[in-house]
Amino acid sequence: MKRALVAMSGGVDSSVAAALMVESGYEVEGVTLRLWGGDSDSGCCSVSDVDDARRVAQQLGIVHHVFNYADSFDEVVVTPYVEAHGAGLTPNPCIECNRHIKFHRLVERSDLLGFDVLVTGHHVRKVDVAGRPRLARSVDDTKDQSYVLHMIDEEVLARCEFPLGDMTKADVRDRAAKLGLRTAHKPESQDVCFITSTEGRSRFLGERMVLHAGELVDIDGTVVGSTEAIELITIGQRRGLDLGGSTERRYALDVDLPSRRVVVGPAEQLETNAVRLADHRWVAEAVIGPVLAQVSAHGESHSATLDGSGQLFWDVPRRRVAPGQSVVFYRDEVVLGGAVAALGSCSVSEST
């Protein structure tokens, strides 16, 4: 009998994933990761989530483990998150958690323990392309999570299963309710598990780094406002900009940390033809030519072209991508890989 290790977060998706693997005839064991030792109200790192996962495992009659990766999580997710803000980047900690913890440390651990597959409750599909495993979008476009899993290469992908890829979220909740799982109606978790809704990003970062005040200037350098923490400003941001009472809609066009200045302007000045990229990660071979590119977890993908150096050129000008954010490449529904928007990729001089 094949053995499956199911990553159980304490939510409905991973609960149903575990149930489906049991129904498929696998010898199933569940594991919940302790990642964040601080305050959490996001629904993915709290003590109650570990308890929910344990109780679902009991309902399913499977063994449940808890692996403590808190030190690794702090090293490869939390610390880089803080450092990125200090460097003028807008990081995506969920992608780094998936990259370093769930699909590196946990895959290695599952191999050492003799499991045949690692299973998660992500809404993605594993498909066969010319005899090789590939990651593809979920059938539920509203819940698709391929963007945050784009870094999984084919070697790791071959050892993973995603049983929810052909189900909608409604299907998942319905299956959980029919099985009587305690997580059937549990709310979904938020994106960043280590930042509470009550204290927010500014409080979290302010306790771990020095935040600097800065000026907001228009395109010709005229000061039009101020910010108490320039490290918290993201390219494309509109809300939270103190423009001295002005009702004109202006967005952050560029963030210059050394000069403590944020250039602001109208939305049309955010548009650019290209994105300068770094840190490319491919599922298999590097890709040149036409792709579909997506710049946020729940955004739409748009036609673009990758050149020989891996830089991206939009078919139609698009809004700038904040440095530090991931750009993920697709061919139809299949993930090809991704990269990170580099510093300098959002300068005002590149606008169209």
| 3-state secondary structure at position 237 | coil
Q: How far apart are the first and last CA of the chain?
A: 59
DSSP codes, 106-147 = HHHHHHHTT-SEEE---SEEEEEETTEEEEEE-S-TTT--GG
CB 240 within 8 A of CB 228: no
Question: In whole angstroms, what is the distance from residue 162 CA to residue 102 CA?
Answer: 13
Other Cβ atoms less than 10 A from the Cβ of 216: the count is 23
DSSP bridge partners of 282: 337
Give 126: exposed, middle or buried? Use CB within 10 Å, 0-12, 13-18, 19+. middle
- Distance, in Å, from the CA atom of 141 to the CA atom of 88, rounded to the nearest integer, reads 32
User: Per this entry, what is the length of the chain?
Assistant: 352
**97 is an active site residue:** yes
Alpha carbon distance 16, 318 (integer Å):
38
CB atoms within 10 A of CB 245: 6
Q: Output the CA–CA distances (angstroms, integers) from residue 190 to 59, 122, 238, in the order listed.
A: 26, 14, 22
Pairing type for strands 117-119 and 63-68 reads: unpaired
Q: How far apart are CA 174 and CA 79, in angstroms?
A: 39
From the candidates 94, 97, 160, 346, give the one annotated as an active-site residue.
97
CA–CA separation, 192 vs 197, rounded Å? Answer: 10
In the chain, DSSP finds a helix count (H) and a strand count (E) of 9, 18
Kindly name the residue from 44, 94, 160, 193 that is annotated as catalytic: 193
- For residues 323 and 235, give the distance between their C-alpha atoms in angstroms, rounded to a whole number: 8
- Positions annotated as catalytic residues are 97, 193
